[in-house]
Every structure is written in C-alpha cells, then in structure tokens.
Chain A
Amino acid sequence: MTLGKQRKFEWVFFQNLVVRQIRQDYLENLTGFAWLILQPLMLLAVYAFVFSTIFKARIPEAEEIGFVPYLAIAFWPWTAFSEAILRANNSITANGALIGKVAFATEQIPLATVTATFIMHLVGYLAVLIVLQLMGTSIQWFYLLLALPVILLMWVFACAISLFTSAIQVFVRDLAQILPPLMTFWFFTTPILYSSSYLPESIQKLAQWNPMAWFIARLRELLLFGEINFDYRALFIVLFIAIFAWGSLRFFRRFSGHFEDFL
C-alpha cells in the first residue's frame, strides 16, 4: 500500500472546509450571515430598476411573468455555477501551504469551494424566490422538488470543471486570466438575459447542447411555468456529466501527487 493511495476523503474535514469557506467571507462583518440574504435581494432590486425601468426589457413568451423574475430564476444558479468555477480554480494554489505539509486527498479543496459557493448562492436564491412570490410572481413551489436535482446536476458539473481547471492552474498559471472572459462568453451565449428564441436558428441547434442552457431552460419551466419537459436529452446530459466528472477526478488525481513540486 503506498501512501498516495491511502489519502482518504475525510468527510468531517470536508464539512469543516465547506463551513470555513462560507464563514470566511462573513466572519468580520457586523451583520454576519445576514448578507447571505441581503446581498442577493439588493442585487435583485438593482436588476429590477435597470431592466424594467431603464431598458424596459421584455421577453415575448413571458409577458405575463415579467422580465425580472424571468432573469432572476436563471441568474442565481448561473452565478453559483460561474463563481464556483472561478473560485475553485485558484483554490489549490491558495492552499499551497497546507498541501505542502499535510498529506490528504487534495480534491477536497476545490470540491469544498464549489460546494460552499453553491450553498451560499442557494440561500440567496431561496430568498429571491420568496421575495418574487411576495411581489406577485407565482413561483411553482411544488416543482422546487424537481428543480433541486437540476441544481444538484449543475453542482456536479461545476465540480467536474473545477477539478479539471484547478489541476491545470497549478501548472499553467495563465488559466486564472483566461477563465473569467471565457465564463463571461459562456454567460452571454447561454439564454439567461434573453430567451433562446432570440438566437438565430443555426446557433439554436448548437445551443441545445450547451448543458447550462438546458439547465436554465428546465429551471424556468419548472419554477415559473410548472412544466415538466425532460426528454432524451436529459439522459444524455446526465450521462455526459457523469462521465466528465469521473474523467476529471481521474485527471485531477493523476496530477495531485505532484502539486507540491509546482506550488
């Protein structure tokens, strides 16, 4: 038995890592965790003002619902996804001191970062959903049960990408500069600010295979319209993400034993 293989995934440690990540941002604030809810709500107010009052943005197929709920349903999951990847990307290099001194399953670090980011934004998401309901949007609360697996799948997807990027980041530091514009590109090519019907026909076909577009579309259907629209592509996407996650974990572990040499 070599020690490299003995590195166990310590559950208690992982939980502590996640909690620490969440607490880190709020530790020295006066109001503490209140910001978890206050910040998303303030953002929601900003978007409501900018898009309804200034841009007067409209989505034809969601006239009744209004632009702001239409955006908000998609925006928070996306933010969780994007921020998780960007944060996790630097997590290995940021924890270099620990990695160089203690032998442990290093994948816990990017995974904890992704998980913590998702938890934080989900709390905000719930607050936003409640406020939207209070403002008159009818949220399909029952379908939240089906929305959760979709978000869980997004989490797995973010974990897979993060294992991949955070391992590369150790060797190729330029990734930290490349990744944010890439994520911005992904944001604008995913129908978040607009409906997929805005896309030219040719791109629409291609965009079908963007997992994020699929997630966003499902979340809107479920939470705003109460529709269930899982087809063969659901199976395909689950399969794709499962294989991708398995592959990136193997990819990560191929390099994790060598991180110390490069930190």
Chain B
Amino acid sequence: MDTLVRIEDVSKIYPRVHRSRERLQAFIALLFGHEPAHGTKVLRNINLDVVRGQSLGIIGENGAGKSTLLKVLTGVIQPTTGRVMVHGKVAAMLELGAGFQPDFSGMDNVRMKASLMGLSNQELDERLDDILKFADIGEYIHEPVKHYSSGMVVRLGFAVITACRPDLLITDEVLAVGDESFQKKCIRWIQQFLDQGGTLLLVSHSMYVVQKLCQKALWVHAGGIEQYGDVFPVTQAYLAWHEKRNAKDKEMQLKATGDGAYYRIEEFTLLGINGDETPAFAMGEDLDVELKIYSPDDRPPVGVVGVIRADGTPVYGVVSDNENTTPVKLADHYYRFRLRLTNIALLPGSYNMSAHSMDPEGVRVFDNRQMAFTITGDTKEVGYIRLPHEWLD
C-alpha cells in the first residue's frame, strides 16, 4: 500500500519559554545542536502510518496533544525526537483564517493564501471562479477582511483550500465554525474529496463528524496513543471513557447505600444468547438479566431493571410489580427474576444495566446495583435506541 504519512516514534517537548533566561538557554542549546533541556512533554512515542485514500479521525480530550500532533505532521513544528515523512501535496487547515491580513481585501488575501499553498498565478486565475463560488460571500470579496464575520473568514479560507487539490487534507476542528449550511457544504466537499481518493486527517470533538467521514480513528490521550483502529470501536470506547468520567460522582452517591439493605440483591448478571455471562452484546441480540434477591421475611420482593446510558441518562426501565410478574422462589429467602430484552434496539455504545430490589408492596427501594455493558455494531444512526422505521415513497 502507498503510505502517505509515516510517523516514527515522534515525541515533542515544548521548551519552557516564559522567562527570558530560559529563552536564552534554549537559544544557546539550539545553536549547538542540542534540544532544549526543560519543557513539557506533549507527545510521547507516537507511531502511525496513513495510507493513501485513508481517512483518519483524531480524537481525545482537550490538551491531549491532538493539535500538536497535527502541527508536527504539517511541519509547522519539528518533533523533538522521531521522524515524520509526508509524501504528496498537503493542505492543512489548522486555522482557516491563518495568514489573512485584516487590512487587505478578501481577493488580495485569496491571492496571498493561494500562493502560500503553492498555486501559480495562472492556476489561481483558472480556479478563481470556483473559489468565489464556494466561498459565496458575494461583493464582500472586495472588502477588507477585518469587516468579515468569523464565518465569512472560514468560508473564504476553506474555499482556497478546495482550489489547491491536495493529496492529504489536514483539518483541526475547523468545521465547527461555519453555519449549518456551510458545514454541510464542507462535509460534502470532503466526502467528494475522499471518494476521489483523497486522504484525510481530521481532528474533531464531534463523534458524528468523525464517524461520518473517517474509516479509522486514533484516540490520543496524554500525548500517547490510547487506541487506534476502526472508527466505531474507537469512538465508542472514547465516548464510554468520557461518560464514565462524568458519571463517577453519581456512582459514588449510589455506593453509599446497599450494605445494610433489607431486601438485598444477592446476584446480578447479564447473560448472552447462549446463556453465558458477558458484558458485550451485538445490537439486535437478546439480552437476559438475572437478578437474585434475598427476602428477609420470605415474601416475594419486587424487582426493577433499567437501562441507563453511561452518563446517567435513563433510557428504559421496567418494574416487575407493574407487569404482574412474581419471582421464582429458589430456596427459602431467595428469589430470582429473569428478564429477557429481545432484539435489543439500543444503538452501539456503553450503557449501565441498573437493578433495584423493593419490598413486596413496591413502595421502597432497598438495594441497587449497576453493571456496565456495551452494545456493539456498525450503524450511522444517532441517539440511544433504534425506533422501528421505514422510508416511504
């Protein structure tokens, strides 16, 4: 395969530059060919290959090192160690308005930017109409850029990029700026670019955009690669990690109860189709929940089972009492519920199964348990559950 980008063991240390003494030290170090001694390590030992025609989404929390990785890739900064090799014509959109001079007209800035990207005057003249059409800012093109709205700057910046016909397109969260229709236009253009064999590296916090445009995803965490692979598993794992982090507080609250519970949950398991315990289910499979509850007075308790999104959003819940179900008595004081969620219609992602035990009257909750599980599958649907649907003529 035709490797377009190769990153070999790249690390980046940003030197400390706040005090003038540190700047001077760094200067002297560089003069003698050393790397600055002190600094913040923002990338550690990254290895990555991107082949021609691939589209890679780079995800990660703020400050994880995504933008630094892109800057190293585009050659704006040099890695402290390791090598970056890029073949082919690169267009980077780290910031679409970069290089625009506010005092000059949009037209002047288009010329400037296009020449910066390596377009000759002749090429620019040929493609100018396309640029203006794509930017679609009308007569404003002759106004100084300082009178532009931020959206117009982005339009113009993106329009110039489209004219450059790069092999590799690198974008850093730039799609988030324009208005809805322009964003769609950009996404359409990128899709077309990909269809024609273009290669894309995209940083985005929108998993929707990443899943829509990318085949592969790279999860960057604390300067290193946390996960790399097909876009769906990686984005799902990333989202689950986020949701878990957000849900930690809630979990702590829940843990406070339980120990001295009267109607105790003894066992809580999730079972797959073949009856084995498992935390992962394919979308559309059957999911069995088994719940054993201890009843101090040997009366049949009430069970509650619910599905909660990992961030705590309730998705669905059912109470045995309301459905006139009684548990099976296993032994004295021990009862068992078994609930089958048939053809589970949850969309791929991370969830928690939540179970509660209540007294036989269904008045008070005595115990609760949560268990994480994931739904796997490839789908571009959004939301939590699949609603039965059909497209009509």
Residues of A within 8 A of B (CB): 1-4, 6-8, 10, 12-13, 15-17, 20, 23-24, 27-28, 97-104, 168, 171-174, 254-255, 257-258, 260-262
B120 cross-chain contacts in A, Cβ below 8 A: 12
From DSSP, what is the main secondary structure of chain A's interface residues? helix
**Cα–Cα distance between A260 and B17 once the two chains are bound (Å):** 11
User: Which partner residue on chain B sits nearest A103 by CB separation?
Assistant: B75
Cβ of B26 and Cβ of A171 under 8 Å apart? yes
User: Which partner residue on chain A sits nearest B15 by CB separation?
Assistant: A261
B3 close to chain A: CB less than 8 A: no
A15 cross-chain contacts in B, Cβ below 8 A: 115
Number of B residues, CB within 8 Å of A: 42
B296 close to chain A: CB less than 8 A: no
**Cα–Cα distance between A12 and B122 once the two chains are bound (Å):** 11
* A3-B77 contact in complex given A12-B121, A98-B98, A103-B92, C-beta closer than 8 Å: no
B95 close to chain A: CB less than 8 A: yes
From DSSP, what is the main secondary structure of chain B's interface residues? mixed
Residues of B within 8 A of A (CB): 14-15, 17, 20, 23-24, 26-27, 30-31, 33, 36, 71, 73-78, 83-87, 90, 92, 94-95, 98-99, 101, 103-104, 108, 111-112, 115-116, 118-121
Shortest B86–chain A CB gap in Å is 5
Cβ of B20 and Cβ of A2 under 8 Å apart? no
Shortest B40–chain A CB gap in Å is 10
Partner of B23, one of A7, A20, A171: A171
Cβ of A172 and Cβ of B112 under 8 Å apart? no
Shortest B3–chain A CB gap in Å is 12
* A4-B115 contact in complex given A20-B101, A102-B99, A261-B14, C-beta closer than 8 Å: no
User: Which partner residue on chain A sits nearest B104 by CB separation?
Assistant: A20
**Cα–Cα distance between A101 and B91 once the two chains are bound (Å):** 11
Shortest B67–chain A CB gap in Å is 10
* A102-B112 contact in complex given A12-B120, A172-B24, C-beta closer than 8 Å: no
A12 cross-chain contacts in B, Cβ below 8 A: 115, 119-121
A sample of 16 more A-B contacts (CB under 8 A), given A16-B112, A101-B92, is A1-B86, A10-B118, A12-B121, A16-B115, A20-B112, A101-B94, A101-B98, A102-B99, A103-B75, A103-B92, A174-B20, A255-B30, A260-B76, A260-B77, A261-B14, A262-B15
User: Which partner residue on chain A sits nearest B94 by CB separation?
Assistant: A101
**Cα–Cα distance between A97 and B20 once the two chains are bound (Å):** 21
B31 cross-chain contacts in A, Cβ below 8 A: 254
